Chains A and B, each alone.
Chain A
């Protein structure tokens, strides 16, 4: 195990009572396991079915940009977020899928996703996402000649409602023209006080 990850064991002392959700941490926790195409689950004892992960390099990069410049990120933290990401995607997808089925539709569309986020406590993402979607669609229009994103899904199910054509609220910073991700939480979603506005330099 990396030397700088020793904080995980010392900090767990003194936990009394229930032992519901503990996993035993071996001394030489293999931190090298879940890299890009890790197919057989993580090192944790509660084996998950979602063994498909996003590449750790991408995940780590986003994390690195999010925390203060000089901050460090433990290796097991990166791997852990990698797993959380898959969990998040599945979480959103199954909620969206359910709504889709309820409305007797077969294809999950953008609105299902946004609705799922709202329902599951991520409604602070919804407004920024709508803006990103707008930009994405504009970008796609500009590439009409090219077969487009190699997604393999049909381009049917255009979103018909007007909810994605909201004018830009004042104070929203778009990521246009910059090569970093700029994430802005509008102040109307006061759920997480510590995460009001994130700007990445």
Chain B
């Protein structure tokens, strides 16, 4: 599959393919700037962050796919990601934004059970 170099981004960088980036740098910069106490970012830092982000996406996708049910179902689901975040130390920082999902009715059921257990004291 061909990787289009920034052609689909409105944040168009130089038309050159040599830089080999597939994410919009200016958007990355926006996100970086939203961190507190960040005054300025030099070009190398920006490039490295953008590139690292690509690696990160690949890394997370592959780890989750292999780690979870992906190998059998040949698909990547949200819960694969959530499980990987919990089980892989590198991705621990994601556990807050990757909570495991639970259906409301299951939660309420378990809550009832918990309350019943407490009532036994």
Contact = CB atoms under 8 A, between A and B. Distances in A.
Interface of A: 4-5, 7-9, 11-13, 15-16, 19, 21-26, 44, 46, 48-50, 52-55, 57-59, 61-68, 70-74, 76-77, 80-81, 83-94, 96-97, 101, 106-110, 112-114, 117, 120-122, 125, 128-129, 132-133, 135-140, 142-143, 146, 148-157, 159, 175-176, 179-181, 183, 191-192, 194-195, 198, 200
Interface of B: 1-5, 8-9, 13-14, 16-20, 22-32, 34-49, 51-67, 69-70, 73-81, 88-90, 93-104, 106-107, 110-111
- Most chain A CB neighbours (cut-off 10 Å) among B48, B53, B79, B93: B48
A140 B46 CA distance: 14
Contacts, number: 322
Given A7-B79, A66-B62, A129 B55 contact: yes
9 contacts: A54-B53, A65-B1, A85-B56, A97-B38, A108-B40, A113-B52, A128-B55, A151-B29, A181-B20
Nearest to A76: B78
Nearest to B98: A80
B99 A146 contact: no
Contact of B47 (A8, A85, A107, A133): A133
A70 B9 CA distance: 26
A107 B101 contact: no
Nearest to A88: B56
A7 B93 contact: no
A129 B95 CA distance: 26
B71 to A, nearest CB: 9
B103 A9 contact: yes
A130 to B, nearest CB: 9
Contact of B43 (A13, A19, A120, A155): A155
Contacts of B30: 52
A109 B44 contact: yes
A13 to B, nearest CB: 6
B39 A107 contact: yes
Given A21-B100, A81-B60, A108 B38 contact: yes
A22 B101 contact: yes
A74 B78 contact: yes
A71 B65 contact: yes
Given A62-B57, A65-B3, A90-B31, A136 B103 contact: no
- Most chain B CB neighbours (cut-off 10 Å) among A94, A112, A132, A150: A132
